[in-house]
Amino acid sequence: MADLPPPTLRLHIDKDALAHNWRALDRLSGTARAGAAVKADCYGLGVDTCLPVLRDAGCRDFFVAHWSEVPAVLGRVPAEQISVLHGVGCAAEAEYARATGVRPVIDSVRQAQIWTESGAGPCHLMVDTGINRLGISPGEASAPAIQALSVEVLMSHLACADEDSDKNPAQLGAFREVMNKVAHRETSLANSAGVALGSEFSFDLTRPGLALYGGVPRPELAEIIQQVAYPQTRIIQTRQISAGESVGYNATFTATSQMRIGVVSLGYADGILRSWGGAHFEGDGKRLPILGKVSMDMIVLDLTDASDIGEEDWVSLPYHLPDAAQQTSLSQYELLTVLGRRFG
């Protein structure tokens, strides 16, 4: 079979920035060590690319959500360093955990029973202290199935760490109460935003995700976290349009004078959603405004003031996550995880 030609869109990952972000979060964690949420293919940026960087920077605790995510991680770090946040919902998942040595995060009394009936072994335990997602309730901590577990890390998850909310100290207090009811080796509460709340939230292990990949969930991190992801695309066609001609679906943009425009090879199928309308790309030091609606595979740019930019040239979409979130009204999490698989 013939070799594929080079792609017309690419996602540059700044590996140095990624390593910097983990080390910064590890330092901010104080006496605790920082882990890494690598679920959802490292928040859309690629396990193949990102996990070795995090590992080599010093990370030793990796969290995924689904069991299907384990194989991509398992070949790169020891099994005991991998945790599956959704736990063991059936016997097959428990058997896979025992066969691989990957740690399940037990999320309910029922999961505790499934884990014990499978032969048990080391696990983690999630306690719901107020977000009302996965996790045992504090009142279930004394259940025989929970007490029978060999808990390595007792953990909970903050609901409002990105805000100055009364829920943060409330969850902290509830977590401290449960710590006295379940035997465990270590404790973990803080996510990326939680790391910035202060040392009392750090315990033994923090679990950053978003901030590793360039997200800034709290202002305290704004001068610390570096951008990691840089979407880039190639111009595949240029053309001239005259006053009165429109661009794109539904003719939402109409030229008022003669313009030079360019078509780039990405769109909402690649995660650049229509909410990017009105934003701009950059090339050769110039702003290149988006014209009209974003299409599935194409975006049209104004090249009128960029005469040096032509077909086959590369341009970039500014993707500093806090700014992009303000521009698009998407969350920083969404901006990362919607990026598509066609990036080379």
Distance (Å, whole) CA 48 – CA 42: 9
Active site residue 293: no
Report in angstroms the alpha-carbon separations of 315 from 88, 213, 301.
45, 21, 10
Active site residue 319: no
Reduce the DSSP state of residue 279 to 3 states and report it: coil
Q: Within 13 Å, how many C-alpha atoms sit on residue 152's CB side?
A: 15
Q: Which amino acid is at 175?
A: F
Record the tokens describing residue 206, joined without a space.
């923090």
Phi-psi group of 178: left, alpha or beta (phi > 0 → left; psi -120 to 50 → alpha; rest → beta) = alpha
Question: Which residue from 79, 209, 89, 70 is spatially nearest to 152, judged by alpha carbons?
Answer: 79
Distance (Å, whole) CA 84 – CA 71: 12
Cα 230–Cα 326–Cα 278 angle in degrees, nearest 5 = 80
Report in angstroms the alpha-carbon separations of 176 from 144, 156, 170.
20, 10, 10
Reduce the DSSP state of residue 55 to 3 states and report it: helix
Record the tokens describing residue 294, joined without a space.
């974003």
Q: How many beta carbons lie within 10 A of that of residue 203, not counting itself?
A: 25
Residues 281, 309: contact at Cβ < 8 Å? Answer: no
Residue 68 burial by CB count (10 A; 0-12/13-18/19+): exposed, middle or buried?
A: exposed
Question: Which residue from 289, 317, 318, 313 is spatially nearest to 303, judged by alpha carbons?
Answer: 289
Reduce the DSSP state of residue 71 to 3 states and report it: helix
Catalytic residue among 15, 249, 286, 293: 249
Distance (Å, whole) CA 340 – CA 319: 15
By annotation, the residues acting in catalysis are 39, 249
